[in-house]
Amino acid sequence: MPAAGAAPAIEQFGFEHKQEILKVEAIESTIPGRFEGWRANENIRLANGQVWQVVDDSRASLWMENPKVRVRRGALGAFYLEIDGTNRSPRVRRLQ
């Protein structure tokens, strides 16, 4: 017989995936200072302290000061870095 504390877990058995999961869909920040673009495996530090690494083979040469950025969720657990002023969004993963 299960312990008394196990009752809620037993009552929820099978419903785990039906509960709404709250997820942040995107974050916004800036890249402080001069931003000259990226290449594969480049680490990009945001003003909020987060560090993201480019994980695809994309590259870009840009000349921007303090660009606004948005990191958004993609399909299958992917994240993309959107940079104001460009239509390119490298796939990234969070390091810090």
Residue-range domain boundaries for the chain? 21-94
27, 63, 67, 68, 90 from 82: Cα distances, Å: 10, 15, 10, 9, 8
The tens digit of pLDDT for each residue in 51-93 reads: 999 999 999 999 999 999 999 999 998 999 999 999 999 999 9
Return the sign of the alpha-carbon dihedral for residues 79, 44, 36, 26.
Answer: positive
Single-letter code of the amino acid located at 9: A
DSSP label at residue 33: S
The tens digit of pLDDT for each residue in 4-51 reads: 556 666 666 666 555 555 678 999 999 999 999 999 999 999 999 999
Single-letter code of the amino acid located at 59: R
- Residue 35: count of CB within 10 angstroms of its CB: 18
